[in-house]
A and B are shown apart, each in its own frame.
Chain A
Amino acid sequence: MVATMQPMLTSRYGLPDSWKLSNAERAGAYVIARKALTTRTPAELKEEVKKANLRGRGGAGFPAGVKWGFLNPRGGDQVYLVVNADESEPGTFKDRSIMTQDPHRLIEGIVISCFAIGAHVAYIYVRGELAFAVRRLERALEEAKQAGYLGERPFGIDHAIEVHVHSGAGAYICGEETALLNSLEGRRGEPRLKPPFPAVKGVFGMPTIVNNVETIAAVPDIIEMGGDTWAMLGRLPGDGGVRIYGVSGHVNNPGLFEAPVGITMRELIDDYAGGMLGGRPLKAVIPGGSSTPVLDPRRKVVAPNATDPLHQWHGQSEIDVPMGVDTYRALGTMLGTCCAIVMDDTVNMVEASRNLMRFYKHESCGQCTPCREGTGWLVDVLDNLCAGRGKPEDVDLLVNISNNMMGNTICAFADGTAMPMLGMVQKFREEFMDAAVNGVPEGIRHDESARRMVEGWT
Chain B
Amino acid sequence: MAFALTPERERQVDDIVTRYPERRAALLPVLWLCQRQHGWISPEVVQYVAKRLELSTAIVEGVVTFYTMFFDQPVGENVIWVCRTLSCDLRGGKAIQEHLERKLGCTPGHTSSDGKFTLLKAECLAACGQAPMVQINDDYYENLDVKLLDRILEAHATRGSEAAAAEFATSARLGSIRASKGRAASTAPPPPTQEAVRLASQPPPPSDSKGEG
Contact = CB atoms under 8 A, between A and B. Distances in A.
Contact of A254 (B99, B131, B178, B204): B131
B86 interface: yes
A183 B64 CA distance: 12
Interface stretch (B3-11, B105-113, B138-146, B155-163): B138-146
Interface of B: 19-22, 24-29, 31-32, 53, 62-63, 66-70, 81, 84-87, 89-96, 99, 122-132, 135, 138-140, 144-147, 169-171, 174-175, 177-178, 181-183, 189, 192, 195-206, 208, 210-212
Contact of B86 (A16, A90, A170, A322): A90
3 nearest CB pairs, A to B:
A14-B200, A454-B92, A14-B183
Interface residues of A, number: 98
B14 to A, nearest CB: 15
A355 B88 CA distance: 11
Nearest to B89: A446
Contacts of B170: 132
23 contacts: A14-B181, A14-B200, A88-B126, A89-B126, A91-B87, A166-B28, A169-B31, A169-B69, A186-B63, A247-B129, A254-B91, A254-B129, A255-B199, A257-B202, A272-B203, A290-B86, A316-B212, A446-B93, A447-B91, A447-B93, A449-B90, A454-B146, A455-B95
Given A14-B181, A169-B67, A454-B144, A184 B92 contact: no
A128 interface: yes
Contacts of A186: 22, 24-28, 53, 63
B146 A456 contact: yes
B24 A258 contact: no
Contacts of A355: 84-86, 89
A171 B122 CA distance: 11
A187 B84 CA distance: 28
A446 B90 contact: yes
Interface string A222-253: 00000000000000000000000011111001
Given A16-B177, A359-B124, A256 B198 contact: yes
Contacts of A91: 86-87, 124, 128
A259 B205 contact: yes
Nearest to B26: A186
A248 B90 contact: yes
A131 B92 contact: no
A204 to B, nearest CB: 5
Contacts of A259: 204-205
A185 B25 contact: yes
B59 to A, nearest CB: 8
A97 B94 contact: no
A246 B189 CA distance: 17
Contacts of A101: 174, 196, 199
B67 A168 contact: yes
Nearest to B32: A167
Interface string A180-193: 00011111110000
Contacts of A290: 85-86, 124
